[in-house]
Amino acid sequence: MSTTQARPESNPAGDELLAGVIARIGSWGALGVMRSAVELYGENGDPNDVLSDTQVEQLAALAKYFDQA
C-alpha cells in the first residue's frame, strides 16, 4: 500500500488567489491562518452547520497534514 498522496490538479485561478494571500501576509502567515482554522474547527466543530462538506473535508485534510508535520 502506497503512502504517497496524489497531488491535486493545478487550478490557475486558485493558484493566483493563493499567491495574492501569500504576497499580503507571507507564507508563515498563510500557514498560521490555516492552522488556526484547523484548531478552531477541532475545538468547536461546526455548531451552526455553516461549513460545506467540501470545507469540512479540506479542514480534515489540513489537520492530517499538520499532524504529520
Domain span at residue 48?
26-68
Do 18 and 43 touch, CB atoms closer than 8 A? no
In a domain, 13, yes or no: no
In a domain, 44, yes or no: yes
pTM, whole model, 2 decimals?
0.75
Whether the pLDDT of residue 19 is over 90: the answer is yes
C-alpha span between 47 and 41 (Å, rounded) = 10
CA-nearest of 69, 67, 62 to 38 is 62
Q: How many domains does the chain have?
A: 1
Task: List pLDDT tens digits, range 30-43.
Answer: 999 999 999 999 99
In a domain, 63, yes or no: yes
